[in-house]
A and B are shown apart, each in its own frame.
Chain A
Amino acid sequence: MERDLKSILTKLEFSDDAKVIQQITEQTRQVRSRMGLIRRKLVVLSGKGGVGKSMVTVNLALAFARQGLRVGILDVDLNGPCVPKMLGMKGQRFEFTTEGALPPIGPLGIRVASMEFFLKPDSPVRWKGPMDLSPVWLGMMELSVIREFLADIVWGELDLLLADLPPGAAADKPPAIVGFLPELDGAVVVTTPSEVCTDVVKKSIVYARDMGIHVVGLIENMSGFLCPECKAESDLFEGDQNVQQLCKELDIPLLGRIPLDRRISQACDRGIPLSEAMESTPRRFEEIAKNIGQQVRMK
C-alpha cells in the first residue's frame, strides 16, 4: 500500500538535478557581486503615482554628484521610464561587453540604467508571450528584468545608487528589491501635502518597514507654488501640516520641501538640469541631499 506523501518526503533528500536552484543562486551571487562595489544604495518610493518620484530622484542624484560623489540611477519604472528624458539622455543605449552592459553616462558623470535605453522612440514595453495570460508570468518577468538591471550592468565603483521605484503602496517591487539587496541603506519617500496622498504614502511606509526597509525620511514635493515672477511661494493644497503630522506620527524626519517650480519642470522636460548656483529649487535639493547624507553616513 502506498504511504502518504508527507511521510515519504521526510526521508528524501532534495537534489537540484534540473539545476534551477543552482542558477538562481548564481543570479543572486552576480547581483551581490555588482552591488558590492556600491557604497550606499537607496530607493525612492511613494505609494502614490504622479508625486514626482523621478524628478526627485534625478535632482537628488545631481545634488549628490555636485558634492563630488560618484552616483548612479536605476530607473525601476519599467513601463514608464522617464529618467533618461529628464537628464537629456533619450536615444542613448547600453554598450554590451563581455563584462556586462555599460550604462550611458549623463550630466555630472551620473551613470543611468533605464528600460528606455532598450526601447524605440514612442514604443511601449511589449513582451513576447501570451498577454491574455500575463497575470501568470508578467510579474515574474518584470522581477527578472530588475534582477538583470542589478546584475548585468557594469556600474563600477559608486558612492551612491538611487533606485527610482514605480508607484505602488504594497506591490511586488519593494520586497523584490529588498530580496536582491539585503544591504539596502534605506528608502526616501516622496509625497505631496494632500491628504489623499499622505494617506496612501503612510501605507507604503508601513509596508516598507514591515519588510525591514529603513525609511530615511520624507520629501514633501509640490509643497507650494513658486511664482516665477516674484518668487513668492503660495500653498497649493489644503492642510499644509499633513506631512509634518505624518512624520511625527511615524517618527520619520522630514528631509525637505520642494515647491512646484515651473523652471524645474521645464528643465526636466528639456533634459537640461538647472544650475544650483542660479536657482533656489536646486539649492533645496542640496539641503535634502545633505540631510540624507547625514542619515546614511554618506561621507
Chain B
Amino acid sequence: MKFVCMKCETFMLFQKVEKPGEESLGVMFECPQCGSRFSMVTNPGETALVSALGVKIGGRTTAPEPFELTRGTLKETAMEPSTQTADSTSTSGGGSCPFSSVLSSMQSGAGIKVKWSEEALERMERIPDFVRPMVKGGIEAYAAKKGYQVITPAVVEESKAMMGGDTGELPWTPAAQQRLENIPAFIRPLARQEIERIARERGLASITDAVMDEMKDKFGQFMSGQYMGF
C-alpha cells in the first residue's frame, strides 16, 4: 500500500508505526518534499489483517523465530511457557517484556513452595529491591522444576546460569558495548544477561547496534522510558 501526496505528486514515505490503542495501529507517513505528515489508523479487523501477514511494518532488525506468527497468535497452545515467543503486536502474554523468560519461569512455578536457606536469602539481599521479587520468582520456578526442596547458593548459581543461557559470552561490538555502558549500573548486568539470552535464542553471533536498537524498544516499553539510558 502506498500513499501519494497529490500536492507534490510523489509517494509519501513510511516513517514509523505506533499502537495508539487496543487492536489499532497508526502507520505514519511523510511527504519527502513538503513534509506533510499523516497517519493511517487501522480498525481491529485491519489490524488483525496486517498482523496476519507475518511482517513487521518498517522492517525487522532480527530474523523471525520459527512459527513466530502461529505461536504468537494462537490463543492457547500446549507449548511450555518457556518456548512461547515474544510478539510485539500481541496485546497479551507480556510478549513485549524484555524479561519475558524470567516472568514465564515465574508463571510456570506458580503455586509451588520451596524453602530458602539463610545463605541463599542473604545473597538475595544484594539484589536491588525493585527486581528482587522477579529474580526470586525465577529461581523458585527453576528449583521447583528441577525438584529442589531447598534453594541454596548452589541452586542460585545454577539457575543464574540457566536463565542467562550461560553458554559462553557473546562478543559485543564496541558501539553496542558503549551503549550498554549507558545503562544505569544497578540494572546493567540484568540487561546484559537478557540481551545475550535473546540474541542466543535468535542464533545471532554477536551483539550489534541493530540488536541494541531493538532492545531499546523492548526495554523502553517495559520501563515506560524510565531507564532508557542507551
Contacts and interface: CB of A to CB of B under 8 A. Distances in A.
A239 B23 CA distance: 54
Interface stretch (B76-84, B104-112, B148-156, B207-215): B76-84
A93 B73 contact: no
A77 to B, nearest CB: 15
A12 interface: yes
B132 interface: no
Interface stretch (A136-144, A176-184, A263-271): A136-144
Interface residues of B, number: 48
Nearest to B80: A93
B83 A8 contact: no
A96 interface: yes
A92 to B, nearest CB: 10
Given A19-B59, A126-B76, A136-B46, A96 B83 contact: yes
A18 B14 contact: yes
A112 B66 CA distance: 16
Contacts, number: 134
A257 B45 CA distance: 46
Q: How large is the interface on A (under 10, 10 to 19, 20 to 34, 35 or more residues)?
A: 35 or more
A98 to B, nearest CB: 3
B66 A125 contact: no
Contact of B48 (A119, A121, A141, A145): A141
Interface in B1-39: 2, 4, 6-7, 9-11, 13-14, 23, 27
B9 A3 contact: yes
Contact of A15 (B11, B23, B52, B69): B11
Interface string A110-148: 000000011111010111111001001110110011011
Given A5-B6, A128-B75, 5 more contacts: A19-B57, A23-B60, A120-B77, A141-B69, A148-B54
Interface of B: 2, 4, 6-7, 9-11, 13-14, 23, 27, 43-46, 48-49, 51-60, 65-71, 73-79, 83, 90-92, 201-203
Q: Top 4 nearest A-B pairs by Cβ distance?
A: A98-B203, A133-B45, A19-B59, A136-B45
